[in-house]
Structure 1
Amino acid sequence: MTQFGRIGAVVALACASAACSSITTHRGYIVDETLMYAVHPGIDNERSVEGTLGQPSFKSQFGQPTWYYVSSTTEQAPFTTPHITAQTVLAVKFDSKGNVVSADRTGMDQVVRIHPNGDSTPTLGRERSFLEDLFGNIGQVGGMPGGAGPAGGGPNGT
């Protein structure tokens, strides 16, 4: 094998191995361990938490005021759906005066994997075929069933 053939084989092998590697993506809050442990109940308030950690990923809309800082890392192999490999959620709860009550941190132990059942969503009601969906409204276009329509007056017969 010539030197060009060897170089070509090495380049082809490098391209093939790069195409099979997974893609790692970070989403959400960028975690700084030192700053996350700097929030202390009874000492900090909303203003100091925002100064330390920045704006939360989202805030609670009901119940006790809570700020959530969510960070996740996903990996995706070629031609597959991404899956979460690491997740951190910091929930900072405040009292009515804006003082920190608690700062709870959770990780992958709280992640729930949901596996949908099939390709369709079950609904209440009767099952209709494609032809019933396609032709089911014939005769219903001109107005309401029973002859009441635009030409026959309103629903009260006037």
Structure 2
Amino acid sequence: MLKRAAFAIALGGFALVGACAPVTTYSGFQAIESNPRDIKPGTDSKATVRGRLGSPSTVSAFDPNVWIYMNQMKETVAFFKPTVTRRDITIIAFDKETETVKTVDNLTLADGKVIAFNGRETPTRGRELTVVEQLIGSIGAGGLLPREDEGVPGSRPGDRR
């Protein structure tokens, strides 16, 4: 009897430890046949880069000759918040006239910077009503009584202008 209880406790402990294995997720650009770091400045063009790597993750909003390939890996353990364990960003800049690769920059998670978030809110006009104010305010709205202008051409059923 004692052996069965010890076995059950050990089995439960192994199940808990096994359930806490991290779940890894990948997102972004997936380098399958070619790596963005293999692109050579001066020799590759837009056509060869698109042929090797496919479409970029994004194109710069300020210069269409800057292509960005991004990917990252996250690990989630149990119910904890996911943590980014790896991030690779490759920025490829092309020459405007010749459309050949001018520069290739590789950035990793270590190159990232923490940006201070401003938690202030932008005020909106008006004020928020409480539930009681909303209920009392809708009593005299007359939503239950038929309106006089219903049936007039151009009005829709249920239109409350």
TM (norm. structure 1) is 0.67
Other-structure match for 1:110: 112
- 8 Å CA contact 1:90–1:105 kept in 2: the answer is yes
State the match for 2:86 in structure 1. 86
Tell me which residue corresponds to 2:9.
9
Count of matched residue pairs: 140
Q: Secondary structure at the match of 2:38?
A: coil
SS at match of 1:125: coil
When structure 1 is superposed on structure 2, of 125-134 and 46-55 the one drifting more is 125-134
CA contact (8 A) 2:37 2:106 kept: no
RMSD: 3.3
Once the two structures are overlaid, the 10-residue window that deviates more, 54-63 or 70-79, is 54-63
Which range is displaced more, 39-48 or 49-58?
49-58
Q: Distance in 1 between matches of 2:117 and 2:83?
A: 12
Residue-by-residue CA offset, 1:29-69 (whole Å, 9 max, x unaligned)? 2347x733321111110111123223222223432411111
TM-score (norm 2): 0.66
How far off is 1:103 after superposition?
0.8
Aligned pair in 2 of structure 1 residues 66, 133: CA closer, same or farther (>3 Å)?
farther
Do the aligned residues in 1 keep the contact of 2:76 with 2:82 (CA within 8 Å)?
yes
Whole-Å separation in 2 of the counterparts to 1:112 and 1:45? 34
Superposed structure 1 runs of 4+ greater than 3 Å apart: 4-7, 111-118, 124-127, 131-142
In structure 1, the gaps of 5 or more residues are: 143-149, 151-158
Identity %: 24
Note if 1:70 corresponds to 2:70. yes
Unaligned stretches of 5+ residues in structure 2: 144-148, 150-161
| Partners of 1:64 and 1:95 within 8 A in 2 | no
Pair 1:127–1:54, CA change in 2 (3 A): same
- Determine if contact 1:64/1:93 at 8 Å carries over to the other structure: no
Contact 2:31/2:53 (CA < 8 Å) preserved in 1?
no
Deviation for aligned residue 1:115: 5.5
Q: Provide the rounded CA distance (Å) in 1 between the counterparts of 2:23 and 2:13.
A: 19
